[in-house]
Structure 1
């Protein structure tokens, strides 16, 4: 009886983890377009700052314990800086390709993104 319950709970856990995504929008385009060619959410201004997507433990913005530091990016190598209005001022954030965010970003950053919106093939964090 306990073995069946344990097997059932493991199956439920695997199904739950396999079905979680940031958004059901289509994946990011294969070729990276410049930030000015994409549509942005209302109030967002994409800056010219472009950095590599974090791929090692030293490049991550938040410390994540355990595991190795290698994050495969699937050919997507850049993230863009953007600003958005916040209580009469502005805040800065990063725009990640949605495919990378669904695969790796949500596990790294969790729900700590203040802006946190998927829009047009990108996730604004």
Structure 2
């Protein structure tokens, strides 16, 4: 038990020490105008590098990824076990997903055009 706690403490302290040393030894200042602007082969940039991005599209993409990953992980579960309690848990998780989908729909997060 002593070895495990020692290893845990050591595994936390070494990355903290390395991170703090690299932070303090290699500090950079980003106050320069040229460092914060995009680089195009030494020429002045033609357009603004920070194009406005639709946060509505980003939210829709995140919701799609979350629901897609959950469905992909839940699809093979009925084939893996025929236990009745396992099937009950599967149906409860599917119901939670469905309720979340209905909530997002009522909130208006899924509407593509609005």
Regarding TM over 0.5, the answer is no
Query: Which structure ranks higher in relative contact order (CA pairs < 8 Å, sequence separation ≥ 6)?
Result: 1
TM interval, shorter chain, is under 0.3
Q: Decide which structure has greater helix share.
A: 2
Q: Based on CA coordinates, which of the two structures has the bigger radius of gyration? A: 2
